[in-house]
Amino acid sequence: MENEIFVTKAILPSMEEYVAEISSIWETHWLTNMGAKHQELQENLKEYLDISNIDLLTNGHMALELTLQAMNLQGEVITTPFTFASTTHAIVRNNLEPVFCDIKPDDFTIDPEKIEHLITDRTSAIMPVDVYGNVCDVEAIDRIARKYELKVIYDDAHAFGVKYKGRGIGNYGDASCFSFHATKVFNTIEGGAVTFKDPTLQETMYELKNFGIHGPEDVSAVGANAKMNEFCAAMGICNLRHMDEIVLKRKAIVDRYRERLYGVKGLQLNVVQKDVESNYAYFPIVIDEKAYGSSREEVMQYLGTHHVMVRKYFYPLTSSFKAFHRKYDVLKTPVALHVSKRILTLPIYPDLSIEDVDRICDLVLQCKSVY
């Protein structure tokens, strides 16, 4: 029987390394509330991400939601519907109105040429998404934001460790929010972080993630509970030690996919961006049924019968969720709609062998003759 290949698999250090890392917790009994592991990971991430200000949180969604709250925004936030639910939900849960902008067809990031006409007197921010680790047009977005005095909060859930023009991606915009979920390039089991330019945001983020508590008898703000615990931080400390090796393994997989699938009629591959040091987070393909001979659904079904799991990531558009009761018109973002109906992300994780990559590519190419 063919072995089952999942679309992703969580990276783990050796059990011995993790046990050694957490052993001191049994001495201190300090399990949460910004302990030694939390502080160590925070400092290590400053260096790895090449940033000055960072706050760790319980997950990537809370990073988005609390960052928006910390900036005290009102009105509308321009964003993309081609993203995970968290991006849109963070906006809505802050009583803000998402305004959906279309994406570029080559790298699937927000199209800056379509942002400006969406700006109104109610617009307070732009929330672009560095989807699949692809970097948005940060210069164009910065020009628009400065012209209209808007905040820019990047959803960088897919962009951990990515660099643009030699700078860590967390240096762009007013803030960048990262996810350290088990499925991501870097994980802390569950976790997230926000990086930010304005150091005064640190106190506000601390208040929001820790009930507004400053001391046993000092609760000076209304906050939530979004603190990263020590066991998650310890996992992050371990995994961060191996990130260079992990990224190199992911690159080898992506290189093989590109070698096997580049130039195949009807398949659009993820673009290789200039001046970007990638983390190789995902390997999406866009399938043109007429040119390829098989639909996205047929390719997905065929791979599934051979125990290869792929994902329609992202489908559907967040603007079409049932939760919004047809409030938004998906036809206003035609490129995003087109891509969402044709996108597949193929398996990628460090332990995926090149032999299995070849097997996946063989199956994808066989679909041209099977259907």
Query: Binning pLDDT at 50, 70 and 90, where does residue 370 land?
Result: low
| pTM of the model as a whole | 0.97
With contact defined as beta carbons under 8 Å apart, do 271 and 107 qualify? yes
pLDDT at position 160: 98
Give the strand pairing for 283-287 and 267-269. antiparallel
Q: Mind listing the pLDDT tens digit for each residue in 311-328?
A: 999 999 999 999 998 899
21 CA to centre of own chain: 27
The SS3 of residue 343 is strand
Residue 3 confidence (pLDDT)? 87
Rounded-to-integer distance, Cα 300 and Cα 364, Å: 9
- Look at residue 4 and tell me if it is in a domain: no
Is 254 inside any structural domain? Answer: yes
Please give the full DSSP string across 275-341, using - where no structure is assigned: TEE-----EEEEE-HHHHSS-HHHHHHHHHHTTB--B-TT-S-GGG-GGGTT-S-GGGSHHHHHHHT
**Coarse DSSP helix, strand, coil percentages of the chain, rounded to the nearest 5 percent:** 40, 15, 40
Domain membership of residue 9 (yes or no) is no
Residue 328 lies inside a defined structural domain of this protein: yes
Q: What is the per-residue pLDDT for 275? A: 98
Domain boundary among 198, 214, 241: 241
Q: What is the CATH number of the domain that holds 129?
A: 3.40.640.10
pLDDT at position 1 over 60: no
Residues 126, 101, single domain; the answer is yes
pLDDT confidence of residue 182: 97
Chain mean pLDDT for the chain = 97
Domain boundary among the residues 222, 241, 260 is at 241
- Encode burial over 172-199: b for 16+ CB neighbours within 10 A, e otherwise: bbbbbbbbbbbebbbbbbbbbbbbbbee
Indicate if 184 and 124 belong to the same structural domain.
Answer: yes
Q: What is the mean pLDDT of residues 187-194?
A: 98
Token duo for residue 77: 């936030």
Q: What is the pLDDT of residue 190?
A: 98
Q: Can you tell me whether residue 127 is helix, strand or coil?
A: strand
Query: What pLDDT does 61 receive?
Result: 98
Q: Give strand pairing partners of 129.
A: 155
Q: Which helix (H) or strand (E) holds 178?
A: strand 175-179
Check which CATH number belongs to the domain holding 334 and give it: 3.90.1150.10
Give tens-digit pLDDT for 109-128.
999 999 999 999 999 999 99
Alpha carbons 236 and 45: distance in angstroms, whole number:
9
Q: Where are the beta strands (DSSP E) in 41-170?
A: 54-57, 76-79, 97-100, 123-127, 151-155, 163-164, 167-168
Nearest Cα residue to 354 out of 5, 10, 1: 5
Burial of 259: CB neighbours in 10 Å, binned 0-12, 13-18, 19+: exposed
Of 69, 79, 157, nearest to 125 (Cα)?
79
Q: Give yes or no: residues 342 and 363 share one domain.
A: yes
Same domain, 194 and 335: no
In a domain, 1, yes or no: no
Same domain as 301, residue 207: no
Distance of CA 38 to the CA centre of its chain: 21
In this structure, are 223 and 309 located in the same domain?
no
pLDDT at 2: 72
Residues 92 and 82 in one domain: yes
H or E segment and range at residue 271: none
Query: Residue 142 has what pLDDT?
Result: 98
Instruction: Give the tens place of pLDDT for each residue, 264-288.
Output: 999 999 999 999 999 999 999 999 9
Residues 261 and 236 in one domain: no
Is residue 250's pLDDT more than 80?
yes
Whole-angstrom distance, CA of residue 231 vs CA of residue 225:
17
| Domain region containing 87 | 15-241
Residue 133 counted as domain residue? yes
Do 190 and 42 reside in the same domain of the chain?
A: yes
Q: Are 261 and 224 found together in one domain?
A: no
Last residue of some domain: 216, 241, 266? 241
Token pair belonging to 167? 């700078």
Q: Give the tens place of pLDDT for each residue, 112-171.
A: 999 999 999 999 999 999 999 999 999 999 999 999 999 999 999 999 999 999 999 999
Q: Is residue 152 part of a domain?
A: yes
Do residues 158 and 289 share a domain? no
* Bond into 199 cis (ω within 30): no
Count the domains in the chain. 2
Cα→Cα distances 321→81, 111, 144, Å:
10, 22, 29
CA-based max dimension of the chain: 71
Residues 290, 196, single domain; the answer is no
Tell me the per-residue pLDDT of 79-96, one tens digit each, with 9 for 90 and over. Answer: 999 999 999 999 999 999
Q: Which pLDDT does position 371 carry in this prediction?
A: 58
